[in-house]
Chains A and B, each alone.
Chain A
């Protein structure tokens, strides 16, 4: 990556992004990554390792944090051998999420028949460009056009884009413009944006990104967390918050990025346990699976878990018993609690408890009594 100071006019464009720009066509999504302490633009740099011919600029804060990126896209869009240059600026946030576009004074986009875009067209374009999942990624424009009526078909649940749908993925009469801009946003420039931010990442910036309300930002930041680096306490807190959130996939991802190294923090283990009690089964199981990846488990957590055992269904109970087994944990309190469960009228639950006790080094009158009574009941 090469860092070059850029022309003042481009800095101006960058500034204008956040101001009202009369006479300019500007569509921007919410910024989402809060800036409270990073609010002064100072430096703008070029990243020259993108494969795109158009230069990508990074806007930094006074402290050297990346704030956002932009690129001027200049290309020709031709129909019937008549060409019009396209000249606009595309903006990304620091996780590579598309933020919007800006057309300089007098610049406009047009359709196949050279009709100027109206406000609805721009809005549609902006919405389409904000979708990273349009079915363009593996296609050339020719393939996109040629596959009408053939390649994409419908089977339940796996329906792809039919020719009718392709129309839904482009601005009417401006398929190439939509395609070109989308490819620009989600192609090598986006990768360059992301890797540039990654190189400047530090705990405070990760924490900032994790505070974004956008799941795209949250997921991106979660995936940058290194398994062998200690979690800063603020980040740890933030991760627990995300696990607790209602968004299922963010919770699942936040659990999945935690490593054995991170789990050396007892605070994190306790945090996970307290969330366990509040969450539904779809998240409970991954939490327990994660806790069992720890190299050692907090004794307080284990003691606290005895209290919830009687409330669990058979499968959840089984998951806890497997965890106890994994850490080779048995104490008399645990044995007694589990012995009580052997009496459960539900044979599925009772058998789980019985199997555990029969194989664990649990001793004492209550234990023997419980085992015996189970055997008598199920003779």
Chain B
């Protein structure tokens, strides 16, 4: 900038800051105008709120069916608990030697493992619930890559992604949803035909006035980390209290690639974690609390570990940015999947996805209640469990599916969330095209479209 120009800019700046004794501007600097909140309007067919495990799949599916689809995500990346939470072991896609959940979720997991040069577990090994446990069939993915691929697939499906946004108001008028969202420096008024709540907390369902349920005592969350600076094999474990052994050992196992040609899952938890009792990610306040509690629990643990012989140089090597949350709210749906339905593998006339996991309830972070499915049993999810009672143009997918607590403890796993995501994406897109509420859709058509897109429908 030459002298004259610079002088004239300073002069004009001086004119707008009369009376202020401002600092002198350095070369290239200008004063910005006071920020004005940007108000935007957006019209879309399907609005997916929450770009996590289920939301990503729901959005891609709706996009691939050719309807205008928008995702709003309060965080900075896609994948939710799978990526931001650090739970990089989606499962379970296979049961009793067969694939039971496929479609877009599997496509993403498959591409991720393949591009990362990883291995799949040997799905032919059938869990027997004693020596061969269900978790062998979980697939270890690279969370960083998962985020990148999820975003690429969304872009390919034409999805409009909006990070750092959260809804503040949702109103249903004359067959359309009017959603106000607040984000960093932006406020958007969105008009859409169908909403899919994939927040994991049934937050939008609640905001819309539908009933949501919660247990008096919820399962704890976990803050996931990795530590380095010690050599497990040379530790004198007799000198270290037992309660720390697992912390030190599980952290040493990296699961992405192993020498076993069957790519079996590591024998124990391949990351460190601290429990966070009562962790709730529903609002900024509750999630802040869960994050802070997790971080302070971790600091305490780190300090204690550094007191142990051979652990003096322990340092933190990796830490998730959020506490991963297991259980908050779930919807009160047109159908509530019960524990009995789950363990008996009840097939519904409107089944839209399988689910396969043991009943797996973490009790106060102290013990886990587990109940395995009997041979050849695979659970099913009916479309009605994704629809809040008496709702219009509204679906959910993910851990907030309508279910009793025990059924939910199994339904919440990632492959099941992905299966629900795909089903909700199909139902929302078809409902847009037919201009009906999802409950009014011909179930057989929903099922057929899921299958056309690679999903597996329980029959």
Q: Which residues of A are in contact with B by a Cβ distance under 8 Å?
A: 128, 131, 133-135, 138, 146-147, 149-161, 168-169, 215, 219, 223, 246-250, 252, 280-282, 284-286, 313-316, 345-351
Contact = CB atoms under 8 A, between A and B. Distances in A.
Contacts of A155: 222, 269, 273
A252 B134 CA distance: 20
Interface of B: 63-66, 87, 89, 91-92, 94, 97-99, 102-103, 106-107, 110, 120, 122-125, 130-136, 138, 157-158, 222, 237, 242-243, 245-246, 249-250, 261-262, 264-270, 273, 326, 357, 360, 362, 368, 370, 413, 452-454, 456
B124 A314 contact: no
B270 A158 contact: yes
Contacts of B360: 156-157
Nearest to A314: B64
Contact of A281 (B107, B133, B243, B268): B107
A247 B158 contact: no
B125 A133 contact: yes
Given A157-B89, A158-B89, A314-B64, A168 B123 contact: no
Nearest to A167: B130
29 contacts: A128-B131, A133-B132, A138-B267, A151-B245, A151-B246, A151-B249, A151-B250, A153-B246, A156-B362, A157-B89, A157-B135, A157-B360, A158-B138, A158-B266, A159-B370, A160-B268, A168-B131, A215-B124, A247-B98, A247-B124, A248-B98, A249-B124, A280-B102, A281-B106, A281-B107, A282-B102, A285-B107, A346-B64, A350-B66
Given A133-B132, A315-B107, A153 B64 contact: no
A133 B131 contact: yes
A348 B157 contact: yes
B124 A160 contact: no
A250 B269 CA distance: 27
**From DSSP, what is the main secondary structure of chain B's interface residues?**
loop
A285 B362 CA distance: 37
Given A151-B268, A153-B246, A346-B65, 4 more contacts: A152-B246, A249-B122, A281-B454, A347-B158
B63 A348 contact: yes
Contacts of B453: 281, 313, 315
A206 B66 CA distance: 48
Given A248-B97, A348-B63, A150 B131 contact: no
Contacts, number: 139
A318 to B, nearest CB: 8
A316 B102 CA distance: 14
Nearest to B63: A348
Contacts of B87: 156
Which of A134, A154, A169, A249 has its CB near the most chain B CB atoms (within 10 A)?
A249
A23 B107 CA distance: 56
A157 B368 contact: no
Contacts of A281: 102-103, 106-107, 453-454
B450 to A, nearest CB: 11
Contacts of A215: 97, 124-125
Contact of B130 (A147, A168, A252, A313): A168
A131 B102 CA distance: 28
A282 B99 contact: yes
Nearest to B449: A313
A134 B243 CA distance: 24
Contacts of B138: 157-158
Which of A153, A161, A316 has its CB near the most chain B CB atoms (within 10 A)?
A153
A335 to B, nearest CB: 23
Nearest to B65: A346
B135 A158 contact: yes
A169 B131 contact: yes
B235 to A, nearest CB: 12
B33 to A, nearest CB: 35
A249 B131 contact: no
